[in-house]
Structure 1
Amino acid sequence: GGAQLARGYLNQPELTKERFINHPFNEGERLYKTGDRARWLPDGNIEFLGRSDNQVKVRGFRIELGEIESQLAYHPQVQAAVVVAHHKNHDKQLVAYFVAQDLIDSQTLKNYLLQKLPDYMVPTLFIKMEELPLNRSGKVDRKALPKPEVGIQEFIAPQNEVEEQLVDIWSEVLQVPKEQISTNSNFFALGGHSLLAMHMMHLILNKLQIEIDLKMLFQYPTIKLLSEAFKLHTEQEDFDEDEFETIYI
């Protein structure tokens, strides 16, 4: 506030009304809402807590989007990144938009963030862009970012009993018709998240007697990949048992 405060944004009355507000204590004066969050410390210093417009609540967890963006920016192949919470199936879904010169896939970035952040802070989708859209102030224009859309893939029906059971489980957990679940569909792209993953892992244990963890699901996010991983796991167990019997016969 004060005498140096601007009158508002040029030719943007709605934004001016939103950002320039009446002073709650001094009548006739105005303040500018910066969007910054801070607190006054006992020693007189002010601690910066981040941006109010970058804080979201996803599945009960309060998340600072800037924290995810900072971790992505530390990746040596990422030049710029922004994270947005999109609404999907009555829930919120974290989507990361990033710019990178080198080829880098979404799974690599997911695995990288899983080492830095809690799983509920890891974005569901990663969208690579040539550049991030900027507004007149030179900041990322989040409203101009493309809406996340799952690419159209060839539908692949389940090829064995395990894949059929996994389709049933995914349909129950994700509330998606079985006819819409391809064995190459990504669990997280269909709306899955860590809480639903926990439910799915419980059903897999009960119905298939196979125990998996969240890290494995991030590594094998499709029914096809999971089924192949289960097969390798079973073959390894059989090999270990045969080796054990050979030693002690």
Structure 2
Amino acid sequence: MNKFKVLLLGILLGTLFIACGKEGAQKEVIRVGTSGGYYPFTYTENDELKGFDIDVWNEIGKRTGKDIEFKQAKFSGLFGMLDIGKIDTVSNQITITDKRLEKYNFSIPYVYSGAQFFVAKGNPKGIKGIEDLVGRRVATEVGTNFEEIVRGLSKKMEFETVVYNSGSLVKDVELGRVDTFMMDKVSIVELIKKNNLQIELLDKPVKYIANAFPFVKKEKNQKIMNEVNEALNKMRKDGTLIKISNKYFGIDITSN
């Protein structure tokens, strides 16, 4: 084989490898941790992950050109997964708190809500406001910002804090085993409507909160977060965030 043929063969093979490389190149992936058990933000229906947060992330994926890989786990384990690098962020209506800001960077907020107490329907225990919680049994879910708020209140008001991992929290309020519990107002109001829960709001929110996506403070994560922020800003500007909000809540929960 003469030199010309060798050179031509080399060019053809090089072009083939480049073409295959481009066609076979995989998109970058953002790994998003979620519980799949926080209706209507993240839930499973017919073995398919659905919800407000899921729709938001699928739209972020389209706008950033990245694949979104959801990894499900119990809420109490999500931040552990984040810390050891099994996921890039958490999407489970995570509230920005001073304590979390010490450890994580947060995207711009995508949801605004309130930390709200709920009691059994008809309020049989006669709790009119947080001033009536002294000596009561107050429930909350482990690892949430609501646990942090409840524990802070208990130091001032001397009530018993009952911490649940998941499951029977609402049922125990309905049955009177605990007197009240704190959860996100928007989420629980939707659950009341969907499942005819025998609970009701207690007074007004104790604290107004902003939800965002946490990232471990590393340079590579900062790049991802910047791209997420850009996508969220565009989604807010063109009305996409409000559209997704209306789909699940019938109201805009994305504006302060």
TM range (shorter): under 0.3
Q: What TM-score results when the alignment is normalised by the length of structure 1?
A: 0.24
Give the structure-2-normalised TM-score: 0.23
Point out the structure with the larger strand share: 2
